[in-house]
Amino acid sequence: MSTEPLPAAGAGPASAADAVAEAERLHDAFNAVWGNPGGWRALTIVNHTTVGLRFLLTGLGFFVVGGILAMLVRSQLALPGHTFMTPEVYAQVFTMHGTVMMFLFAVPMMEGLAVYLLPKMLGARDLVFPRLSALGYWCYLFGGLILVSSLFLGLAPDAGWFMYVPLAGSTYTPGPNSDFWLLGITFVEISAVSAGVELAVSILRARAPGMSLEKMPLYAWYILVMALMIVVGFPPLILGSILLELERAAGMPFFEVARGGDPVLWQHLFWLFGHPEVYIIFLPAAGIVSTLLPVFARRPAVGHAWVVVAVVSTGFISFGLWVHHMFTVGIPQLAQAFFSAASMLVAVPTGVQVFSWIATLWLGRPVFHVPMLWLTGFLVIFVAGGLTGVMLALVPFDWQVHDSQFVVAHLHYVLVGGMLFPLVAGLYYWLPHFSGRLPSAALGRTGFWLVFIGFNLTFLVMHWTGLLGMPRRVHTYETGLGWDGPNLLSSIGSFVMAAGIVAVLCDIVLHFRYGARARPNPWNAGTLEWATATPPSPYNFVSLPAVQDRHPLWSNPGLGDDLARGHGGLALIDHGRRETWGTDPASGAVREIIHLPGNSWLPFAAALLIGGVCICLLLRAYPLAAAFTLGSLAVLLRWSWENGTHPLAAPDARTAPGDPPLHSRTFDGPGLWGMALTLLANGALYLSLLFGWLYLWTVAPAWQAPPPDHGLAAGKGAGLLLAAALALSAGTLVLRRAVARLRAGIGRGLGALLALAALLGLVHCGLLAGVFSAAGLAPTKTAHDAVSAVMLGYALVHGALAALLAALQALRVRFGYVGIEAPYEPLVVSQWWHYSAVTLWASYAALVWFPAVWGLGGGA
């Protein structure tokens, strides 16, 4: 293999000039394969460095929009009886402030920084699915533009960023305001989930040789947990948004009490996403803290293993806290006690991290550069926010301050203190990596003190306003209630804070032109991103590093120069392929070479067409939306066709002697992991649908159980559904047979088996279509039939995609893309078939067996 030990001193080129010439030759050769095009073709770039920077710049743009909206809110509330904005405009402004900051700034910024950093930090050349990263960015940009455009059209969402029903429903918000939120946010969340899959698979499968899990940087641990939380936590809101849009556009009563729905179901679905999102935002910020503090304390982090356990524990516990946002809804006291205890329990792993940071500083020799100043502000503000969080976990106290300005203040202490301060610290730390230049220490310190003072003046005082009884979301208030002075102070503080943010943004912009040139690794950090050039090349490393410990640059400060001269892995580029190592998830041992795709118009085109679908749905132009959907499907199929390289186009003979095979020659490529995590997200959405089904059966006050002769519970509808499940199961078994033959090295008859599976999938779809007509569903009349229709539609979409994927694989066998030499794509498709079959049987049990058992038990 080409991961042999570095040559001994003096073994390389004869002179320093020869070494420089060799490094330049390698750079030119790699740039010919990895280089980014200019002009309009820049839209085709899929490289993680460019995509990550686009995320960051777009996130900063949306942050400015959200900040302006915040200033408008504070201007309105500065004085009692103020008429700066009408109630209708104010409702739009505060709704969009929360929406922009939470959905278009906080999560995408953290994802963008991770997209930029992780391959460099892990010793890889790119993420494992570069085109998926590009698709995620374009979905984020277009979804955000759709959402923000509503402000300029005067049609912005105005029901609060929680979008509680019935206020957000068609009865009280008949215009398209809520539709902008539901469709725009769903579009943006495609980006979030795709980034979660991308980041998790890349961390697990594309690390430097020797980088076992125990040697992985803490930042990568934080991002891994965040990515998995996104994969599991975002689908409940995606489902809720789909259901609410179906209720608004098609009259399907999921949340309407009179027809068997329940508005509290929306709160459950929203907060199943909403509370984990707080930690999805906080954990990557804490990862920045755990990365920077050891550098400025000049010693390794204290309690590395304890921090990893705390991060993983936080991820798990955060999914058991959502009901603490609903203590005043009227849930049973036993449930309140459980979720109150869970809400206090999450403080334990957070405390472990805080004490690790304090111990690292205590045992080190801290130097207070500008990033360290922002980290100090984070520690002060976040700990204060955590204390008020524990207060809110106590049910009696929560009852007193629920929906008051106290909760608004707590939220900002946790999210601004826990995310913005570490983010700015991280930006100042990595700006020399982005640009090769140093920012201004004077502007950085000025910005910090303005933000720190202004923030505490705004939100520390706001706790007092909330305890005095001021509710959130009010557009004005009467004088004489004791709120006049605190509100004026908060408004003054907000403008001081805004001045600090302006100073920081000016520093960031100006340093690209006027900043002093930074030396390599200016902070003397120990992680691998500082072994690349600054600013980095599109390929990160000419040759890939191998690591022996957690701080490779502290162990070998000259590692970057060695890698630039080609003294590492995969230093050959004459084959013209983009490659990086595929490694074992636990040990970091090399398994295969991951062959990465190049630049393409397909991600941009796919996102543009999906955006067209959203716009047509907003306009209720459903035939045009169907046309855009078909166009999106065509582009994605073309993408699938290009995704695997034909063996003749990437012959094994052009792989260096002793190197492992390309991933397409194996049975364990990254696509298997990507599909597994995609199905995990899919499963989270489906389980949320099952949760809603069972919740309405057991809790909805006007639930209408189906009669015994209902078409799905008995008769032809139930029989057709059973036949559809059997057909899909048969197709799954055929596909398993095809995969087994591939594993045995038998390629004969592979195309016929895949075609047979596709045919069985089509039979399944036809039978499911028959269920809709035979069951006699009335999805606009009762919540039971509405949820039943969604379950059947879910099964139909998955069955149709399963048939399409199997047919595509049969065609690829015919053209030589799939076979004994390139066997792993059918394994990826097999995962989809298995999942579709399992969920269809679960739906059969829910729609047919559960009502029968419920009726026998007297539940009806």
Distance CA 197, CA 800 (A): 23
Whether residues 59 and 204 share a domain: the answer is: yes
| pLDDT score of 2 | 40
pLDDT recorded at residue 659? 81
- 11 has pLDDT over 50: no
Report d(CA 202, CA 124) in Å as an integer.
Answer: 9
Q: Can you tell me the mean pLDDT for 48-66?
A: 97
pLDDT bin (cut points 50, 70, 90) of residue 859 is very low
Are 147 and 276 in the same domain?
yes
User: Quick check: 9 pLDDT over 60?
Assistant: no
* Global confidence as pTM: 0.95
| pLDDT single digits (tens) 130-166 | 999 999 999 999 999 999 999 999 999 999 999 999 9
The answer to whether 184 and 519 have CB atoms below 8 angstroms apart is no
**Does one domain contain both 158 and 136?**
yes
Q: What is the mean pLDDT of residues 203-226?
A: 97
Distant-in-sequence, close-in-space partners of 62: CB < 8 Å, separation ≥ 6: 100, 104, 105, 108, 144, 148
**Residue whose tokens read 């899919």:** 682
Residue with tokens 């290009």: 642
Q: Same structural domain for residues 652 and 784?
A: no
Task: Place 644 in a pLDDT band, splitting at 50, 70 and 90.
Answer: low
Whole-number pLDDT of residue 654: 64
Q: What is the pLDDT of residues 70-113, one digit of tens each?
A: 999 999 999 999 989 999 999 999 999 999 999 999 999 999 99
Of the residues 703, 735, 765, the one at which a domain ends: 703
Which residue is associated with the tokens 């509370």? 275
Is the residue at 127 inside a domain? yes
Please say if the pLDDT value at position 252 is more than 70.
yes
Do 699 and 716 share a structural domain?
no
User: Mean pLDDT, to the nearest integer, of 449-455?
Assistant: 97
Gap between the Cα atoms of 295 and 89, Å rounded: 47
Q: What is the CATH number of the domain that holds 91?
A: 1.20.210.10
* Residue from 338, 508, 498, 500 nearest 431 by CA: 508
**Average model confidence (pLDDT) for the chain?**
92
In the block, which residue shows the tokens 């959502």? Answer: 322
- Given a cut of 80, whether residue 715 has pLDDT beyond it is no
State pLDDT tens for residues 765-786. Answer: 999 999 988 888 899 999 999 9
CATH of the domain at 771: 1.20.120.80
Residue 711 domain-assigned (yes or no): yes
pLDDT digits (tens, 9 = 90+) for 495-528: 999 999 999 999 999 999 999 999 999 999 999 9
Q: Are residues 613 and 679 in the same domain?
A: yes
The answer on 681 and 718 residing in a single domain is: no
The answer to whether residue 712 sits within a structural domain is: yes
At residue 332, the 3 state secondary structure works out as: coil
Task: Kindly state whether residue 397 falls inside one of the protein's structural domains.
Answer: no
Residue 4 has pLDDT above 60, yes or no: no
Banded model confidence at residue 855, pLDDT cuts 50, 70, 90:
low
Q: Is residue 419 part of a domain?
A: no
DSSP-derived secondary structure for 29-46: HHHHHHPPP-GGGGGG--
Q: Looking at the structure, do residues 181 and 109 belong to the same domain, yes or no?
A: yes
Q: Does residue 847 lie in a domain region?
A: yes
Q: What is the pLDDT of residue 13?
A: 46
Report the domain count for the chain: 2
> 517 forms bridges with which residues in the sheet?
437
Length of the chain: 860
In a domain, 502, yes or no: no
Same domain, 168 and 260: yes
Query: Alpha carbon 370 to chain centroid distance?
Result: 29
User: For 286-338, what is each residue's pLDDT tens digit?
Assistant: 999 999 999 999 999 999 999 999 999 999 999 988 988 999 998 888 888 98
Per-residue model confidence (pLDDT) at position 663: 87
Q: Tokens 């015994």 appear where?
A: 708
Range of the domain at 805: 706-860
Write down which residue in 703, 731, 760 finishes a domain.
703
Q: Is-contact 831 810, C-beta < 8 A?
A: no
Q: Give the three-class secondary structure for 558.
A: coil
Say if residue 79 is in the same domain as residue 209. Answer: yes
pLDDT at residue 353 tops 70 = yes
Identify the pLDDT of residue 583: 96
Q: Is the pLDDT of residue 548 over 90?
A: yes
Rg (CA), the chain: 28
The gap between the terminal CA atoms of the chain, to the nearest Å, is 67
Domain boundary among 637, 672, 703: 703
Tens of pLDDT, residues 409-446: 999 999 999 999 999 999 999 999 999 999 999 999 99
d(C-alpha 602, C-alpha 607), whole Å: 9
Domain assignment present for 367: no
Helix locations, 476-586, DSSP H: 484-514, 552-555, 559-564
Same domain, 688 and 805: no
Furthest C-alpha separation in the chain: 89
- Same domain for 688 and 751, yes or no, is no
Amino acid 22: pLDDT: 75
Give pLDDT tens digits for 734-752.
999 999 999 999 989 999 9
